[in-house]
Amino acid sequence: MKAAIINRFGSPEELEIAELETPTAGPDQAVISIKAAGINPVDTKIRSGKHISCKDLNLPAVLGKDFSGTIEQVGENVSGFEVGDAVFGCSFGAGTYAEYMAAESSYFVKKPANLSFEEAAAVPLAALTAYQSIHEHLKLQTGQRILIHAAAGGVGHLAVQFAKLTGAYVYGTASETNAGFLKELGADEAIDYKNEKFEERASGLDAVIDAMGGDVLYRSISCVKSGGTVVCLPSSTKNDPKALALAREKDVNLIWPMMHPAKDQLESFAELLQDGKLRVRVDKVYSLDDINRAHSDMESHKTRGKLVVVI
């Protein structure tokens, strides 16, 4: 089968196309013919060697976590799925930049009929991250006020929608060109991060989702009321001494979440997408042969929604 692999860590140019053996299904797995794979920031961090998981990664390796496709083979212990079923999910083992993969049946669900394969591949990791941040870590409630940074991005644009579904008041930072997009998603206020200081627009908040770290994280802590919480998505900022000191001074909780697989959450996303209560934005679509450019564009931090590779 055709796959995009890395033989060593480094720039996007380290990704190359190779021929690998097609996998077979284990007892609790299905072999999926991948139609599309989502690109996530964690993919670029792993490729560059900067992610914590790199120390356990055996090279050469196939990258990618999000996928959509059709089932080609079903393991003997797998129930509820048949050959030909259209599915989507998030891999915690085999990489998804490939024509085929073997995945645990607990990692995928049936694709809503109204969703394209490209749209479905854009959902899993970003939606799990956004949903778990809001419901498991922040425990956001109706009437609370939240600031979501990079609100037009992959995680951000889904977090805005999950926050609004709870009945929260949502501020989102983005470029001025994305203000209309945030309003379409339901954000109550869009803040132009290039020309406005978000801390002057949003204060006394219950919660913040920070996607940036550094100065943005420090300033975000100042926006949160005593007892409030900041979810810090970049793992590279974990236990930042300055952030911890500022949080102690203001009595603000800092959480660096670890996203986990949750089939029930994937099923709830499928239902929301089917009913039109949640939507995913695909910004650009690439071929597998153009995977290098997809990674370069991801690292530009200028995307609206998600980037997807068609296999």
pLDDT digits (tens, 9 = 90+) for 58-99: 999 999 999 999 999 999 999 999 999 999 999 988 899 999
Phi, psi torsion values for 154, nearest 5 degrees = -60, -55
Q: Is residue 268 assigned to a domain? A: no
Q: What is the pLDDT of residue 11?
A: 96
**Cα gap 70→187, rounded to integer Å:** 35
Residues 134 and 242 in one domain: yes
Q: What is the pLDDT of residue 56?
A: 85
Which position has the token pair 């033989």? 7
Closest by Cα among 198, 206, 197, 208 to 233: 208
Phi, psi torsion values for 93, nearest 5 degrees = -145, -95
* CATH label of the domain that carries residue 225: 3.40.50.720
Q: Is residue 53 assigned to a domain? A: yes
Residues 220 and 306 in one domain: no
Q: Is residue 246 assigned to a domain? A: yes
Query: 303 pLDDT exceeds 90?
Result: no
Residues 171 and 213 in one domain: yes
Residues 8 and 111 in one domain: yes
Phi, psi torsion values for 148, nearest 5 degrees = -115, 115
**Cα gap 65→83, rounded to integer Å:** 22
**Cα gap 211→206, rounded to integer Å:** 17
Question: What pairing do the DSSP bridges indicate for beta strands 29-39 and 306-310?
Answer: antiparallel
Q: What is the pLDDT of residue 205?
A: 98
Task: Give me the domain span that covers residue 164.
Answer: 126-255
Q: Is residue 28 assigned to a domain? A: yes
Residues 119 and 137 in one domain: no
Q: How confident is the model at residue 241 (pLDDT cuts 50, 70, 90)?
A: very high
| Contact of 129 with 154, CB cutoff 8 Å | no
Residues 160 and 248 in one domain: yes
**Cα gap 198→216, rounded to integer Å:** 9
Least confident residue range of 49-53, 150-154, 208-212, 289-293? 49-53
Residues 112 and 147 in one domain: no
Q: What is the pLDDT of residue 233?
A: 94
Q: Is residue 153 assigned to a domain? A: yes
Q: Is residue 266 assigned to a domain? A: no
DSSP assignment of the chain equals: -EEEEESSSSSGGGEEEEE-PPP---TTEEEEEEEEEEE-HHHHHHHHT-SGGGGGPPSSEE---EEEEEEEEE-TT--S--TT-EEEEE-SSS-SSBSEEEEEGGGEEEPPTTS-HHHHHTSHHHHHHHHHIIIIIS---TT-EEEETTTTSHHHHHHHHHHHHTT-EEEEEE-GGGHHHHHHHT-SEEEETTTS-HHHH--SEEEEEESS-HHHHHHHHHHEEEEEEEEE--GGGTT-HHHHHHHHHHT-EEE-------HHHHHHHHHHHHTTSS---EEEEEEGGGHHHHHHHHTTT--SSEEEEE-
Residues 156 and 251 in one domain: yes
Q: What is the pLDDT of residue 34?
A: 98
Question: 196-199 contacts: CB < 8 A, separation 24 or more?
Answer: 198/147, 198/149, 198/171, 198/173, 198/223, 199/223
Q: Is residue 56 assigned to a domain? A: yes
% pLDDT > 90, the chain: 93
Q: What is the pLDDT of residue 54?
A: 85
* CATH label of the domain that carries residue 63: 3.90.180.10
Q: What is the pLDDT of residue 236?
A: 81
What Cα–Cα distance (Å) separates residue 53 from each residue in 46, 50, 172, 235? 7, 9, 30, 11
Number of independent structural domains in the chain: 2
Residues 207 and 301 in one domain: no
Q: Is residue 263 assigned to a domain? A: no
**Cα gap 150→212, rounded to integer Å:** 8
The tens digit of pLDDT for each residue in 90-118 reads 998 889 999 999 999 999 999 999 999 99
Residues 9 and 64 in one domain: yes
Which position has the token pair 């200081």? 197
